[in-house]
Chain A
Amino acid sequence: MFEGFELSMIDTGEAVIRTRHGGSGPPLLLLHGNPQTHVIWHKIAPRLAQDFTVVATDLRGYGDSSKPPTTPDHMPYSKRAMARDQIEVMRQLGHERFFVAGHDRGGRCAYRMALDHPERVLKLAVLDIVPTGETFRRADMAFGLGYWHWFFLAQPFDLPERLIGADPDYYCLRGRRHLFDPEALEDYLRCFRNPETIHAICEDYRAAATVDFALDEADRGARRIACPVLALWGRGNELDRWYDVPAIWRDWADDVRGRALDCGHYLPEEAPDETYAEFHAFFTS
């Protein structure tokens, strides 16, 4: 996996970020989601590295990145704080302006970065998400049942930590493990077994239900994403059933394109060829 890539631990001042980087060309930052690590990009990173300088990181709290201390207001796990890490990683690697693609929680970090730091983000790809605030504003029975983990993980400390931590191997990616390469799955599971990772993940969701939601509400209709946006999602997924995904993103950005791919939630691992082709076309256009 990731042959020819370098692996670095980069200290951003707030966190130490596990960073896989390689290739040549314009810089492209790749951000993973819950409960995974940068390894989700293993199938497409080598191909992307032919045309881009690829930087794939673990978000703070996730994977082998450090887990900054938590606070009652959940700010350390806001997507705003997570985005600051990633900008600092890119700056230390010499990339002031770059492309970014994020899946799941990484997508939330990526669009927050595009809103907070428009001068840094040249293009944004978001995988299987719409903005956090838009989902909470629309939350109803179907959402509560379909995305129950949003509400479970956001419960006050330490209810979800205790229940998940009693048997992390049971909870993590149960029922979906067949979708992943065994070596990738082992990275996800190994990192998830760390109680500090479980706590950080819960804080990510607590931040989503509080500070991330509030920041989105403050920006909605006021601040927009200045760069082109590519939205991809899995056909038949909850997102596909509940929302007109491009229409929601058009409320946040002028230049939006995207489509559903024939896969579930884990696009870069379930549909690597299509995801690669979409990325390549979007980021080279």
Chain B
Amino acid sequence: MLDDFEDRRVTLDEAEIYLRIGGEGPPLLLLHGYPQTHLVWHAVALVLAREFTLVMPDLRGYGQSRGPAPDPEHRNYAKRAMARDMVALMDSLGHERFLLAGHDRGGRVGYRLCLDHPGRVARFAALDIIPTLDTWEEMDADKALGTYHWPFLAVPAPVPERLIGADPDFYIRHLLDRWAGRSDALDPRAVAAYVEQFHRPSVLSATCEDYRAGATLDRAHDREDRDAGRRLDCPVLVIWGRGYAASKAASPAEAWRRWADEVQEVALDCGHFVAEEEPQACAAALGGFLRGSL
């Protein structure tokens, strides 16, 4: 998959980042989510590479990237730290200013990058998320049942690591099936790669740390920004799947308008994995939003 894209490995201060790169045009950083890897972009990349230079890393700790060992405060898997990797990565590629789209956890890294590094991102697309602070503040019984994995993965180590690690294939396939709009929505080769990574203890640990940071530091960072009135300094597009129960309660654009001045929204008839379930529509929405802006 993504055979026409070059693979690289970049050693940064805190992490070693694996990425695929290719295409022509202004730089577009694409960030995947949980429990996935850069392969989520395999279908949209074929379209977007015609007009953008695509940079598709695995986040620290995920896939073939390596991250630091977990720390008690979860700083090492805070979105702030993950965003630093991505800025350093784009620096190393010579891209001072770039376009950014992030799905799921990658979307959280994406908006954190916009907030922490103003001026770097010309346009930001968030795929099927609202900001972490808003998600926690909207938590009620229904949402806690629908997104039980937020509290579950944030339980102190090694509880979720042990429970998932006992049968990672079952857990990850179950989760992908549940979040997808159709059970055959995802490419089996991509699914095999998503599942395979959870056989590695380092990935199990890093991905739980991602959620532990989500329940603690990421939320605190969001609140600091909100209290200080800091907002994303670029236009935002939110693309979301109507079929994913956990995010369909209200228009996600409404939540994003609390964080950015210019917010557009595209809703697709699919589940959580918008880039894999509706690649043509997703690529068209991204292209339309990002084209000519850099």
Select which of A139, A140, A144, A171 is within 8 A of B163 by beta carbon.
Answer: A171
Tell me the B150-176 residues at the A interface (CB within 8 Å).
Answer: 150-152, 154-155, 159, 162-164, 166-167, 170-171, 174
Q: Are A162 and B167 in contact (CB under 8 A)?
A: yes
Q: Are A148 and B155 in contact (CB under 8 A)?
A: yes
CB distance from B18 to the nearest CB of A (A): 29
The verdict on A167 contacting chain B, using a C-beta distance below 8 Å, is yes
The verdict on A213 contacting chain B, using a C-beta distance below 8 Å, is yes
- Supposing A139-B141, A144-B139 touch, asked if A163 and B166 sit within 8 A by C-beta, the answer is yes
The verdict on A222 contacting chain B, using a C-beta distance below 8 Å, is no
Q: Are B144 and A151 in contact (CB under 8 A)?
A: yes
CB nearest neighbor in A for B133: A141
Distance, CA A170 to CA B141, complexed state (A): 27
Q: Are A213 and B141 in contact (CB under 8 A)?
A: yes
Q: Are B162 and A151 in contact (CB under 8 A)?
A: no
CB nearest neighbor in A for B136: A141
The verdict on A277 contacting chain B, using a C-beta distance below 8 Å, is no
The verdict on A1 contacting chain B, using a C-beta distance below 8 Å, is no
The verdict on B180 contacting chain A, using a C-beta distance below 8 Å, is no
Question: Which residues from chain B contact A152 at a C-beta distance below 8 Å?
Answer: 148, 151-152
Select which of A148, A164, A209 is within 8 A of B151 by beta carbon.
Answer: A148
The verdict on A7 contacting chain B, using a C-beta distance below 8 Å, is no
The contact string, 1 if C-beta is below 8 Å from chain A, for chain B 128-153, is 00000000110111001100101110
Question: Which residues from chain A contact B166 at a C-beta distance below 8 Å?
Answer: 163, 166-167
Tell me the A133-174 residues at the B interface (CB within 8 Å).
Answer: 136-137, 139-141, 143-145, 148, 150-152, 154-155, 159, 162-164, 166-167, 170-171, 174
Distance, CA A164 to CA B159, complexed state (A): 11
Select which of B150, B164, B167, B171 is within 8 A of A144 by beta carbon.
Answer: B150
Distance, CA A174 to CA B156, complexed state (A): 12
Select which of B145, B155, B171 is within 8 A of A163 by beta carbon.
Answer: B171
The verdict on B56 contacting chain A, using a C-beta distance below 8 Å, is no
Q: Are A162 and B148 in contact (CB under 8 A)?
A: no
CB distance from A283 to the nearest CB of B (A): 34
CB distance from A12 to the nearest CB of B (A): 31
Select which of A151, A159, A171, A174 is within 8 A of B145 by beta carbon.
Answer: A151
Interface size on B, residues (CB 8 A): 23
The contact string, 1 if C-beta is below 8 Å from chain B, for chain A 115-145, is 0000000000000000000001101110111
CB nearest neighbor in A for B171: A163
Interface size band for A: 20 to 34
Question: Which residues from chain A contact B155 at a C-beta distance below 8 Å?
Answer: 148
Q: Are A164 and B163 in contact (CB under 8 A)?
A: yes
Q: Are A145 and B215 in contact (CB under 8 A)?
A: yes
- Supposing A144-B151, A170-B162 touch, asked if A209 and B139 sit within 8 A by C-beta, the answer is no
Distance, CA A144 to CA B141, complexed state (A): 8
- Supposing A145-B151, A148-B152 touch, asked if A163 and B163 sit within 8 A by C-beta, the answer is yes
Distance, CA A76 to CA B97, complexed state (A): 60
CB nearest neighbor in B for A174: B159
Q: Are B152 and A136 in contact (CB under 8 A)?
A: no
Question: Which residues from chain A contact B136 at a C-beta distance below 8 Å?
Answer: 141
CB nearest neighbor in A for B135: A141
CB distance from A128 to the nearest CB of B (A): 20
Q: Are A139 and B140 in contact (CB under 8 A)?
A: yes
CB nearest neighbor in B for A166: B166
Distance, CA A11 to CA B145, complexed state (A): 35
Distance, CA A137 to CA B137, complexed state (A): 15
Distance, CA A154 to CA B163, complexed state (A): 16
CB nearest neighbor in A for B219: A141
Distance, CA A167 to CA B163, complexed state (A): 8
Select which of B141, B144, B151 is within 8 A of A137 by beta carbon.
Answer: B141
Question: Which residues from chain B contact A171 at a C-beta distance below 8 Å?
Answer: 163
Q: Are B170 and A162 in contact (CB under 8 A)?
A: yes
Tell me the A153-211 residues at the B interface (CB within 8 Å).
Answer: 154-155, 159, 162-164, 166-167, 170-171, 174, 209
What is A's interface to B at a CB cutoff of 8 Å? 136-137, 139-141, 143-145, 148, 150-152, 154-155, 159, 162-164, 166-167, 170-171, 174, 209, 213
Could you jot down 10 A-B contacts, CB within 8 Å? Answer: A139-B139, A141-B136, A141-B139, A152-B151, A159-B174, A162-B171, A163-B167, A166-B166, A170-B162, A209-B145
